[in-house]
Amino acid sequence: MRLTSVLSVPFAMVGRRTLDIATEMGGMTLMAGAILRRLFPPRVDGAELMRNLYNVGVKSFPIILVTGVFVGAIMVIQAGLYVEKYEATGFIGWGAGFATLREVSPIMIALMFNGRVGAKNTAEIGTMKVTEQVDALRTLAIDPVSYLIMPRFIAMVVMMTLLVVVGDATALIGGAFTSQFLLGVDVQLFFRSFVDLIHLEDFLLGVYKAITFGIAVGVVSCHFGITVTGGAVGVGRAVNDSVVASAIWIFVLNYVVTTLII
Amino acid sequence: MSAHPPHKPNVLELFLAALGSPFVIVGEQFREIFKVFGLTVQYAQHGRRRWKEVWLQAYRIGNESLVFIVCVAGSLGVTLVYQAGLQAERIIGDLTPLGGLYLQILLREFGPTITALMISTRVGTGIAAEIGSMVVTEQVDALQMSGAHPVEYLVVPRFWASVVMVFCLTCVSVLVSWLAGLLTALLAFGVSPYTFATLSFVIPGDVILLLMKTTAYGIAIPIVAGASGLSAHGGSEGVGWATTQSVVNCSLAVLFLDVLLSGFGYLVLLR
């Protein structure tokens, strides 16, 4: 009897986790479906959309700028080691720019966006849920998805795309300054190799990634926000789950988009 | 006492206030973080050792993040090798150095930093949510009433656990990314595992830099997250604010330390 109960522990654990994951995946799918149904024709509250565009985009601007500069500096330092080893200073703009535009900048900006906007979104919707404001909306015959979720979702997709473009630009400027002051490679040389060797596709790949990341963060954070239960503790736990799920989606989608587009 | 007419700020004052307020906010957060840092160092040296709590926190920081880290490291490894392989095929046409260079850049940069960002996301929010909930439900006040300092009781065990576990998770993450890269190189480009698995590019400086980075991130994450959690106020809104603050500050701290340590590595270690 004892042996069987010990043996059943791992199975119970695997089963419980599978059920948990299935529940969340189903919830996210339903959320994506609800959003999709209200996109054609678009049913969005205009004033709420403008306010969310401001909150999501403009207020994240400083953090994205700082992240961009850091990313550019890191990539140039890393590329600099190889450039000096093989004495190919002419290629630093290409080396750092290629990795930044295609891979590092979209991921880093998306992770910061996930932390800044996704977490805040889950916390806000979750707070409204536990203080019964969402129920109040329903009582007033206002569809919570059209009023609360659609503006946030659209704002996130639009602003994520734009913020990656901003992040790319700041990363390149930060990288150029780092290469000037730390490596002693002239800014002109940096940008010449960048312009010569980087194609539009490299930039566009980052933008496509940004669109998918924006959709993922939007769906995941709204889903975890609207399903919160259990007061302040529940809100904290939901934010935690939301950022973790979004981060996994970001990396999985990064892989999917990379393999699909190339 | 005669009532003064309310002072109406003019445009210049409004402009200066808008310019200065971000600095004030950032400065306050820095002060908060360094206060918690100082207290943590002090209590970590002189306070009571509560190994059972450290053990529990190590389980929650390390073991419970394992699946998450493996997922992320695996997909990152596949993507990086795929991109690098395509470029190397197009421009150099020789894929033999791929494995060695990949391992090197993994040790120097992507292994520790991406893992630390993931831990900031998962553990940073977790710590802030937990401590923040305790603050808003007045459990922290109760702690202080019974003579335990919240930093000693809540942050120090997480600090020890995190310093150890960030290192362990980084090792796991590097290993998983490397294996994922090896498989990708084999299946997508036909690079033999014997060619891929080489340590010839790795120098001692790479390993020292990895150790420095993991230690710095392991110290920074619980302290920044703890500071955010302890500064929570209000109800569930305050907890949400604290968790958001925590993940942003932790990630920025990781990136900042990465710039500093990579710069140090470039100038001193990796010559």
Task: Give per-residue pLDDT as tens, A76-106.
Answer: 888 887 777 777 777 788 888 888 888 889 9
What pTM value is reported for the model?
Answer: 0.88
Tell me what the mean pLDDT of segment B15-25 comes to: 86
pLDDT score of A215: 93
Q: What is the CA radius of gyration of chain A?
A: 22
pLDDT band at B95 (very low <50, low <70, confident <90, very high): confident
Q: Are A240 and B22 within 8 A, CB to CB?
A: no
Chain B residues in contact with A102 by the CB 8 A cut-off are 83
Looking at residue B2, what is its pLDDT? 54
CB–CB of A258 and B83 under 8 A?
yes
B92 contact A CB<8A? no
Chain B stretch 22-51, residues whose beta carbon is closer than 8 A to a beta carbon of chain A: 22
List the 211-240 stretch of A: residues with Cβ below 8 A of B.
231-237, 239-240
Q: How far is CA B146 from CA B40, B43, B133, B227, B229, in A?
A: 19, 17, 19, 21, 20
Confidence (pLDDT) at A11: 86
Closest CA–CA distance from residue B45 to any residue of chain A (Å): 31
Q: Indicate the helix (H) or strand (E) that contains B126.
A: helix B125-136
Which residues, 6 or more positions from A130, have their beta carbon under 8 angstroms from its beta carbon? A228, A229, A230, A231, A232, A234, A235, B236
A71/B251 CB distance under 8 A: no
> Which of A14, A240, A262 is best to mutate for the B interface (most B CBs within 10 A)?
A240
> What average pLDDT does the structure give for chain A?
86
Say if residues B45 and B144 touch (Cβ distance below 8 Å).
no
Is residue B168 within 8 angstroms of chain A, CB to CB? no
- Helix pair angle (A200-226, A119-130), 10° resolution: 20
Look at residue B206 in the predicted model and tell me its pLDDT.
87
pLDDT at B1 over 60: no
- Give the percent of chain B with pLDDT over 90: 25
- Whether residue A39 lies within 8 A of chain B, CB to CB, comes out as no
Please check the confidence at residue B271 and state whether its pLDDT lies above 80.
no
Question: Which chain A residues are closer than 8 Å to B239 by Cβ?
Answer: 123, 232-233, 235-236, 239
pLDDT given at position B116: 93
Per the model's pLDDT, the better-predicted residue between A120 and B88 turns out to be A120
- Can you tell me which residue has the tokens 């042996």? A3
Q: Is B79–A116 a contact, with Cβ atoms under 8 angstroms apart?
A: no
CB-CB under 8 Å, A66 with B133: no
The overall average pLDDT reported for chain B is 87
H-type alpha helices, A179-230: 187-197, 200-226
Q: What is the pLDDT of residue B3?
A: 61
pLDDT of residue B47: 74
Q: Hey, are the CB atoms on B83 and A103 less than 8 Å from each other?
A: yes
Question: What is the structure's pLDDT at B174?
Answer: 92
The answer on pLDDT for B136 being more than 60 is yes
Span of B115-119, B197-201, B227-231 with lowest mean pLDDT: B197-201
pLDDT for position A1 = 56
- Out of B76, B120, B132, name the one closest to residue A236 (CB): B132
Using 50, 70 and 90 to split pLDDT, how confident is the model at B270? confident
More confident site: A119 or B237: A119
Answer whether B87 sits within 8 Å of A252, measured CB to CB. no
A61-75, A149-163, B67-81, B84-98: which has the minimum mean pLDDT? B84-98
- CB-based contact A247 B68, cutoff 8 Å: yes
- Interface contacts A/B by beta carbons within 8 Å: 165
Instruction: Show the low-confidence residues of chain A (pLDDT under 70).
Output: 1
Residue B83 has pLDDT above 80, yes or no: yes
Question: Does the pLDDT of residue B241 top 70, yes or no?
Answer: yes
Do B100 and B200 meet the contact criterion of CB atoms below 8 Å apart?
yes
Average pLDDT over residues B159-163: 91
Question: Per DSSP, which regions of A12-164 are E strands?
Answer: none
Chain B residue closest in CA terms to A131: B236
- The CA distance from A248 to A244, in Å, is 6
Does residue B263 sit at the A interface (CB-CB below 8 Å)?
yes
